[in-house]
Amino acid sequence: MLKEVHYKNWKSFSNATLYIDPLTVLIGTNASGKSNALDGIAFLSRVVQGKELQTILSGDSALLLEANIQAIRGGVEWAAKHPHSSFILEVVIEGDEETDYHYSIEVSTKSDVELVSESLVKIDRKMNKRTKLFTATAEEDSPTVAASVYNGRRPKKKPFKRSVSVISQLKNQETHPEVDEAIQLVVHTLENVFILDPAPALMRDYKPFSNRLASNASNVAGVLAALPKEEKKQMEKLLSKYVSRLPEGDVQRVWAEPVGRFKTDAMLYCEEQWPGSDKKLIVDARGMSDGTLRFIGILTALLTRPKGSLIVIEEIDNGLHPSRAGILIDMLNEIGTDRQIDILMTTHNPALLDELGPEMIPFIIVAHRSMEDGASELTPLEDIQSLPKLLAGGSIGKLVAEGEIEETLSRQGSEER
């Protein structure tokens, strides 16, 4: 599981850490750095897959269309915090009860986008021991990066390309078993980060069968229809269970059905029945609300992503009525825990924050700007010194709506200086 992400001169961050828990809530005002934090995770996920560093930041229309991903917001120009010309992203990944792995990558944006340094370290918490599994550094004008890879003896340096990550080049090479195990774990963990941004407008049409949900959830119908019969039945039962609590009317059932002559496309349907009426109405995705479709997209991701995945959802409650925030939180907690899937979400919604309850305070992170230099900072809510006093005056949702948390952090920063 991904435990921590560190940002150094990444976009609006000078030096900050985001802690990841089974359910992590990232809050903050507009332009506080929330999206920049998520972009850093997206960058890392693509780095370990072996994508060109230049392409990740600036994009390639043909490749991006094929992969159903977008370039990192801001492109190359805004990847490194001005006036810097490089950035560092680091993660801590849990191996087992005694072991963590620390992966770091530094990228230059000075002229060409290329690798500056990279490393993977095994941390034995019980023995308080650190083993460098590989380290790589590049001379400023060198076309390659020199990497030392652990082999149980004295490592020899080997040249690697600077246009892609070393870890993605090593994952297909024969290395020491300890190195190979670590690389596979780090790559698997970061590859399984799923950046989800459901787009209801794209979910309303017929979609071909698919075995993987798109990042915009446009192919929900195709994913559901392609499932084996018994799995599909169980999946639609769970969809119906949660979706039935959203609208005023009674949703009896949600399902996907093959359509067309060759039965290789699918459409999403639901069956509604209003209280007091014996008539049932079948509605396809074209007649469903944006909020309902987004909810179905999020729910499908929770039910289909592999165990151990991290699902990242920006503005998770977009299009959802405040009175249904509790339904969303229940769904995230129940399914996330049952399927061992971590969730990182952002929100501005006071109603949703109030539904979290006081037990979630340790898992709420506040993105805010330093009053000293404007850099984005990430502060756990529980680290705010006057939090008990603040909560005595109102709920978390109320404090967010009135800007009390950010104001308190500004005062706290001034006092610390």
pLDDT category at 249 given cuts 50, 70, 90 is low
Given this model, what pLDDT does residue 67 score? 45
Given this model, what pLDDT does residue 366 score? 97
Is 55 strand, coil or helix? helix
Fill in the DSSP letter of residue 249.
S
H/E run at residue 256:
strand 250-259
197 has a pLDDT exceeding 50: yes
pLDDT category at 414 given cuts 50, 70, 90 is low
Q: In sequence order, what are the beta bridge partners of 304?
A: none
Alpha-helical regions (H) of 177-268: 177-191, 220-225, 229-243
Given this model, what pLDDT does residue 417 score? 53
pLDDT category at 181 given cuts 50, 70, 90 is very high
Mean pLDDT of the chain: 92
Given this model, what pLDDT does residue 69 score? 55
Residue of higher predicted confidence among 155 and 167: 167
Fill in the DSSP letter of residue 108.
E
d(CA 207, CA 222): 5
Q: In sequence order, what are the beta bridge partners of 17?
A: 6
pLDDT category at 413 given cuts 50, 70, 90 is low
Q: What is the mean pLDDT of residues 224-243?
A: 94
Treating both helix axes as pointing N-terminal to C-terminal, what angle do 325-339 and 290-304 enclose, rounded to 10 degrees? 10
27 has a pLDDT exceeding 90: yes
Q: What is the mean pLDDT of residues 35-59?
A: 95
pLDDT category at 393 given cuts 50, 70, 90 is confident
Query: pLDDT digits over 7-17, tens only?
Result: 999 999 999 99
CATH number for the domain whose boundaries are 2-195+308-416:
3.40.50
Domain boundaries, the chain: 2-195+308-416, 204-296
Q: What is the mean pLDDT of residues 163-167?
A: 97
Given this model, what pLDDT does residue 296 score? 95
Given this model, what pLDDT does residue 350 score? 93
Alpha-helical regions (H) of 14-86: 34-47, 53-58, 61-67
Q: In sequence order, what are the beta bridge partners of 250?
A: 273
Residue of higher predicted confidence among 227 and 358: 227
Tokens of 114: 């290329």
For residue 409, give every residue at least 6 positions away whose Cβ sits within 8 Å of its Cβ, in sequence order, or none: 366, 368, 377, 379, 384
What percent of the chain lies above the pLDDT cut of 90?
75
Tell me the CB-side half-sphere exposure of residue 69, using CA atoms within 13 A: 20
For residue 173, give every residue at least 6 positions away whose Cβ sits within 8 Å of its Cβ, in sequence order, or none: none
pLDDT category at 274 given cuts 50, 70, 90 is confident
Determine phi and psi for 212, rounding to 5 degrees.
-145, 130
H/E run at residue 159:
strand 157-161
DSSP per position, 313-378: ETTTTTT--GGGHHHHHHHHHHHHHHHT-EEEEE---HHHHHHH-GGGGGGEEEEEE-TTT--EEE
135 has a pLDDT exceeding 80: yes
- Whose tokens are 């392409």? That residue is 55
Given this model, what pLDDT does residue 61 score? 56
Given this model, what pLDDT does residue 66 score? 45
Peptide bond into 200 cis (omega under 30): no
pTM of the model: 0.93
Q: What is the mean pLDDT of residues 46-64?
A: 83
Fill in the DSSP letter of residue 404.
H
Q: In sequence order, what are the beta bridge partners of 256?
A: 268
352 has a pLDDT exceeding 90: yes
Given this model, what pLDDT does residue 415 score? 61
Dihedral angle sign, alpha carbons of residues 16, 22, 28, 33: positive
For residue 199, give every residue at least 6 positions away whose Cβ sits within 8 Å of its Cβ, in sequence order, or none: 216, 217, 218
The answer to whether 182 touches 133, Cβ cutoff 8 Å, is yes
Q: Sort strands 86-94 and 2-8 into parallel, antiparallel or unpaired.
A: antiparallel
Query: pLDDT digits over 88-99, tens only?
Result: 999 999 998 899
Is 205 strand, coil or helix? coil
Tell me the CB-side half-sphere exposure of residue 25, using CA atoms within 13 A: 28
Determine phi and psi for 162, rounding to 5 degrees.
-95, -10
